[in-house]
Chains A and B, each alone.
Chain A
Amino acid sequence: MKDTPLANCERDFLLKAIEEKKRLDGRQTYDYRKMKITFGTDYGCCFVELGKTRVMAQVSCELVAPKESRPNEGIMFFNIELSPMASPTFEQGRQSELSVKLNRQLERCLRNSKCIDTESLCVVSGEKVWQIRVDVHMLNHDGNLMDAASIAAITALCHFRRPDVGIQGDEVTVYSPEERDPIPLSIYHMPISVSFSFFQQGTYLLVDPCEREERVMDGLLMIAMNKHREICSIQSSGGIMLLKEQVMRCSKIASVKVSEITELISKALENDKKARKAGGRCGFAESMPQERITALKMDETPVEMTEVTDRANDIVQKAEAPSQTVPSPVVPVPGVGQVGQGLQNTWGLEEEDEEEENDNSGEDEEVKETKMEVEQHDKEGSKQEDVVEISDSEEEEVVILHPETPDKAPKHTGPSFHQKGAAASKKKQKK
């Protein structure tokens, strides 16, 4: 679906407002929108709301073989999913320029900054390591997806617990959460991305652009930084020339924002830990707002079961009885199955005819010949032998033709083998 284009007057209005140091939602230049971090019911699931932008991250793990070049290190895998729910322009299963850009930036922010101890993810050197997979789903796109995604990803990684493993000799045991408490990942630091948008060739700068602002911006600068004021990655896109002072100023702003966000994340993690320890229910279901008119909740309700039995009985009795005669599969010709009677199977009959003509020519094709002979025998034989019912267990073996068995294993007895034996002997006679 195509995106709604931005009207020229709207664009002019936005730019003019920015010139006057005003923003559409009443924020100041360096303000972030309201941020909310919630967790899912299971470990490693995190929801981030940044204004109206919504992102969900889920971390999962799997035991895999390590890369040959790094046999002692676990593998980190990041996947940003631009779900069509977030914006009508996003298409499912297509790698757009934006998704490549976001994926790459998240990888640089979290993998290349070595914030996670990958060596602790090694189980058996060169054989088994943990692969940590981070899926980030965009749920609603209202600008600044990168910041929301990086916050969601790092928070989910901090929240995640992987199963404990025990090694005894060559045996590796993966313990379930009931047997042994799952282990958190060892995280050295938390890089967080902060986005700056530039307008009028870098004259104006805004932190945390919303979707409308992103549409009219000239350039974007993303700085990933941790709370120790270490820059993990810088990416400038949009093709604007930035001055040294501007980059310095942005990194200073970023350090302030990052320390605020880190504090929020640790608070959220602590709250969740407390809630889990208290044994209370936690997760998305509990974080649903109750005071909104658009939300409603209903307690557990019993379903009335009286009448149900009567009703079911009623319907079953009223229903027409299904026909009791189930047609059993019949075999009109050995090697051919058929359901229902009176159906003439014309399958491959022509081929057989051909073979009959070439009867004497191919003596080496024993398999085909045997089959053909049996068919001939059956045709000559009485009507009773013509139709063999599969449902009869004793005669079931008639259907499976082993051209070699009659000669090699004559000790078998029974009607079925007699028939085959007869066929084989007949073949010999003919030769």
Chain B
Amino acid sequence: SRDELVCGSSNVSLREFGCEQSLLSRPDGSASFVQGDTSVLAGVYGPAEVKVSKEIYDRATLEVLIQPKVGLPSVRERSQEQCVRETCEASLLLTLHPRSSLTLVLQVLHDDGSLLSCFLNAACMALMDAGLPMSCLFCGVTCAIDADGQIITDPTAAQEKESRALMTFAIDSKECRVMMSSTKGSFSVHELQQCIAVSQKASEKIFQFYRDSVKRRYSKTL
């Protein structure tokens, strides 16, 4: 059947990816994350004073802002902001900073597919750089299913355009569980489970990268 065809792909890979932390002087934490040609810059401010209208008495208020490259933020950016905010809220220990504000600003530098997963990765690196207490790390993986039913991880913009379905998952570092999912297009339950399994496999690579970059930061030699 078609379901068996799904996993015949051998070119399931992550594009080359890289990250630079603390590259901005003003924010408390900053990171740029690059996946292929897709790149995102993230900056975190906080914990800081919060507006009275946004104050939550038992935890910090997290605000996520996404800045598109051209024009003003629209509905698309709002929905992406919500996906990122909910993932960050799930991993950050917000109760340790009651009545304070955290602001995460994400700037698109170039969009060449898998933008939401790049947002998530940049956000996690920036939160790490800011030294905010978190219960776990998270990463984002985007999977596309093309017209033949093949799974493509970390698709480019062209691959995204030709895909039948597009899914982005946020995966936690402790048990590789799905923290957030955002899907587009139609797919079967089997395909969904396969994409989750692929994303969990891919997340191991990204977490290894996180670990390596932290190790490099605190090493005495390059």
Contact = CB atoms under 8 A, between A and B. Distances in A.
A137 B24 contact: no
A100 interface: no
Nearest to B153: A303
Nearest to A304: B201
A312 B37 CA distance: 31
B90 interface: no
B18 A133 contact: no
Contacts of B105: 83-85
A394 interface: no
A291 B221 CA distance: 11
B216 interface: yes
B22 interface: yes
B19 interface: yes
A21 B31 CA distance: 36
Contacts of B75: none
A309 B7 contact: yes
A399 B10 CA distance: 52
Contacts of A83: 65, 67, 105, 107
A396 interface: no
Nearest to A295: B20
Given A1-B48, A305-B10, A296 B24 contact: no
A300 B48 CA distance: 38
B198 A305 contact: yes
Which of under 10, 10 to 19, 20 to 34, or 35 or more describes the interface residues of A?
35 or more
Interface in B10-49: 10, 12-27, 30, 32, 34, 36-37, 39, 41, 43, 45, 48-49
Given A135-B71, A305-B198, A92 B18 contact: no
B18 A284 contact: no
A1 B101 contact: yes
Contacts of B25: 52, 140, 142
B109 interface: yes
A302 B13 contact: yes
Contacts of A303: 12-14, 153, 198, 201-202, 205
Interface stretch (A37-45, A174-182, A405-413): A37-45
A133 B69 CA distance: 11
B91 interface: no
A326 to B, nearest CB: 15
Interface string A315-333: 1100100000000000000
Contacts of B15: 300
A88 B30 CA distance: 13
B124 to A, nearest CB: 14
Contacts of A313: 190
Contacts of B9: 305
B197 interface: yes
A294 to B, nearest CB: 5
Nearest to A305: B12
A344 B198 CA distance: 47
Contacts of A295: 18-21, 213
Interface string B94-138: 000000010101010110100000000000000000000000000
B32 A288 contact: yes
B97 to A, nearest CB: 14
Given A45-B110, A92-B65, A284-B34, A294 B23 contact: yes
- 4 closest A-B pairs by beta carbon, nearest first, are A297-B18, A312-B193, A85-B105, A295-B20
Interface of B: 4, 6-7, 9-10, 12-27, 30, 32, 34, 36-37, 39, 41, 43, 45, 48-49, 65, 67, 69-73, 101, 103, 105, 107, 109-110, 112, 153, 189-190, 193-194, 196-198, 201-202, 205, 209, 212-213, 216-217, 219, 222
28 contacts: A1-B45, A1-B103, A40-B110, A42-B110, A84-B103, A85-B26, A85-B41, A88-B26, A88-B103, A133-B70, A139-B107, A140-B27, A284-B39, A292-B20, A294-B20, A294-B23, A295-B20, A295-B21, A296-B212, A297-B16, A297-B34, A298-B16, A300-B15, A301-B14, A305-B12, A307-B197, A312-B190, A315-B197
